[in-house]
Amino acid sequence: MDVQVKPYGDATVVEASGDVDGSTAPVLQEQVLAVAQPGCRLLLDMTNVSYMSSAGLRVMLLLHRQISGGKGKVVIVGLNEDLQSTMSATGFLKFFTIADTLEAGKALLDQA
């Protein structure tokens, strides 16, 4: 798995590629939590992630917990159908705002 962090307008994109599982989740966690600072506006781009284990889902939830309470905003972008149904069935999905594309995600960040 590979993680790239780059700006997208006034937001930050964290782009993961590959499988997020028990061995790679710590890498994603380190990179994501590093940019999840107060006032952050994050787009977590999962377009190139085909599989995420429960460890990967927990990274997302940690991210949510770190920025919830108005400390920051995140939109998850490009979840494939299988990941969405897994996250829905396990209850993780309802913690998050999701979008299909970076552009749509940015628009959601800009709302309110």
Partner 1 sequence: MDRIDTYSTHEYQGYRLRAGHMLPFGATLVPGGVNFSIYSTHATSCTLVLFKKGDPQPMVEIPFLDEFSIGDVYAMTVFDLDYENIEYGYRMDGPFDPVAGHRFDKTKILMDPYAKVIGGRDVWGVAPDWNNIYQHRARPVMDDFDWEDDTPLEKPIEDLIIYEAHVRSLTRHPSSAVREAGTFAGIISKIPYLKSLGVNCLELLPIYEFDEFENSRVHPQTGEMLYNYWGYSTVGFFAPKAGFAATGKHGMQVDEFKNLVKQLHENNIEIILDVVFNHTAEGNEMGPYISFRGLDNQTYYMLTPEGYYFNFSGTGNTLNCNNPIVRNMVLDCLRYWASEYHIDGFRFDLAAILGRAPNGAPLSNPPLLEGLAYDPILAKCKLIAEAWDAGGLYQVGSFPAYGRWAEWNGKFRDAVRKFVKGGDGLIGEIAQRVQGSPDLYALRGPTASINFITAHDGFTLMDLVSYNEKHNWDNGENNNDGANDNESWNCGWEGPTDDPGINALRHRQIKNFLAIMMTSQGIPMLLMGDEIGRTQNGNNNTYCHDNELNWMNWDLVNENADLLRFASNVIAFRAAHPILRSRNFYTHSDYLGKGLPDMSFHGTQPWQPDWSNSNSHTLAFMLCGDYAKGGTQRDDHIYVAMNMYWDSVWFTLPQLPNDMKWHVAANTGASAPEDSWALGEEPVLSDQGNILLGDRSVIILVGR
Provide the binding-site residues for partner 1, judged by CB under 8 A.
21-23, 53-55, 57-58, 61, 65, 85-86, 88-92, 95
CA distance 5 to 14: 5
**Min. distance of Cβ 16 from partner 1 in angstroms?**
17
Nearer to partner 1, 56 or 105 (CB): 56
Nearer to partner 1, 4 or 54 (CB): 54
**Min. distance of Cβ 44 from partner 1 in angstroms?**
18
SS3 49: coil
**Min. distance of Cβ 43 from partner 1 in angstroms?**
23
CA distance 106 to 50: 22
For residue 105, the one-letter residue type is G
Helices (H), the chain: 25-35, 54-67, 81-89, 102-110
**Min. distance of Cβ 53 from partner 1 in angstroms?**
5
Nearer to partner 1, 9 or 91 (CB): 91
Q: Is 93 left (phi over 0), alpha (psi -120 to 50) or beta?
A: alpha
